[in-house]
Structure 1
Amino acid sequence: MSRSLSAAIKKKIALRAKYRCEYCLLPEHLSFYAFHIEHIRSIKHGGTNELSNLAYCCPDCNYFKGTDIATFLDNDTLVRFFNPRRDDWNSHFMLEESAIHGITDIGIATVRIFKFNDVERLIFRQQLAELGFYP
């Protein structure tokens, strides 16, 4: 299967996401970098290039997620990551000032692995919030 996506498909995904990262909600126009089309379930784990498996993603979220699909919250509990095609963001996360907190196991796992609250990301979101640009 080809991994490349047409410009039309990329545009459709960006429009669907309203040009925001579907994980951390960062608006693309305020980022220093172009956003990525991310495979929710990576190709190596059987994912496809179908629209239902693609998300609009900032470079930080995409980098930290990589090809992972889940993580262990403790020694025995494997928890999948937030899926923007299936899950409601507000059901799994809450914003407290500019910090993103997981309120379910899925949210907690996603916050941890995607490093939503690394200091640089937190400071940037706080600055955007103060200017009225986040969320």
Structure 2
Amino acid sequence: MSRPSRELERRVIALAAGRCEYCRLPEKVSALPFHVDHIITEKHRGATVLENLAWACFSCNMHKGPNIAGIDPITGEVVRLFRPRQDVWDEHFKWKGAWLHGQTDVGRTTVMVLEMNDPDVVLLRELLLTEGVL
């Protein structure tokens, strides 16, 4: 995998504003490191350029892996995943307490593939909500 330059990595981090660009977890509360993620993986000919890189928490990055699509849990259709550089987060996702819900086929599929409502993740969000961090 091509590693982005330090300058390119800094630009990705700045665009993320301190949060995972998929699940919106604040980096400052994470015990695990965040990573620069290729939105479209190099395996699928994604380039190491700003438009194709996102700042991702460990959980989102590991679950996403090389995936660029998944199966929409409602329609059963193959649907691409959320792309932080071209999609608007609020159009695809909505919070219901500590649970993240997909509002579109892209949102639903991304929530499922990235396992954004894993019980441990939801528990962490509940604690962060209680502490006023989220």
Q: One fold, TM greater than 0.5?
A: yes
What is the TM-score with the length of structure 1 in the denominator? 0.94
Superposed CA RMSD: 1.4
Supply the AA of the counterpart residue of 1:20: R
1:33 maps to 32
Deviation track 1:43-89 (CA, whole Å, cap 9, x = no partner) reads 00010001000000001000000000001226862100011111111
Distance apart, 1:10 and its partner CA: 1.1
What is the TM-score with the length of structure 2 in the denominator? 0.94
2:108 maps to 108
Structure 2 unaligned regions, length at least 5:
none
Task: Give me the whole-angstrom Cα distance separating, in 1, the residues matched to 2:110 and 2:78.
Answer: 12
Most deviating of 104-113 and 65-74: 65-74
Task: Give me the whole-angstrom Cα distance separating, in 1, the residues matched to 2:20 and 2:81.
Answer: 15
Runs of 4+ in 1 over 4 A off after TM superposition: none
Secondary structure, counterpart of 1:111 in structure 2: helix
1:84 maps to 84
1:67 maps to 66
Supply the AA of the counterpart residue of 2:9: K
Identity within the alignment, %: 38
1:5 maps to 4
Q: How does 1:22-61 map to 2 (within 5 A)?
A: 22-61=21-60
Task: Give me the whole-angstrom Cα distance separating, in 2, the residues matched to 1:100 and 1:73.
Answer: 15
Deviation track 1:87-125 (CA, whole Å, cap 9, x = no partner) reads 111111100001000011000000001001110000001
Most deviating of 57-66 and 68-77: 68-77
